[in-house]
Amino acid sequence: MAKYFAIIPAMLMATFPAIAPLNIMRLHSPASAILSAIIFNALIIIALIPLALRGVKFKPIRALAILQRNLLIYGLGGVIIPFVGIKAIDVLITGLHLV
């Protein structure tokens, strides 16, 4: 979801100024938005490989407790962390004048 809020408004804002309110992340430029999203994806894939290889241990817990735990960890983390990560990478890229 964060990738769409990063890339689409940055790419289309020059052509369609009406979508400016969708640019909630306020990324520097279309090039830095795309580069930030690509770098974030590469880093997150590398970070998740050990988790995938380790697998999931079975714990006899109630289904509601498992659902709440998974929603908290993966749902909240899966929505908030990409926004923060992409914005941080954009700030780093523009601060280093790479784009």
pLDDT digit string, tens, across residues 33-72: 889 999 999 999 998 898 888 887 778 889 999 899 888 8
Which two three-digit tokens encode residue 93? 């890229």
Q: Of the candidates 45, 28, 42, which has an alpha carbon nearest to the alpha carbon of residue 92?
A: 28
Q: How confident is the model at residue 21 (pLDDT cuts 50, 70, 90)?
A: confident
- Whether pLDDT at 98 is above 80: no
What gap in Å lies between CA 40 and CA 87, rounded to an integer? 10
Determine the Cα–Cα distance for residues 89 and 86; give it in Å rounded to an integer: 5
Is residue 99 predicted with pLDDT exceeding 70?
no
- And the tokens for 42? 């590469």
End-to-end CA distance of the chain: give it in Å, rounded: 23
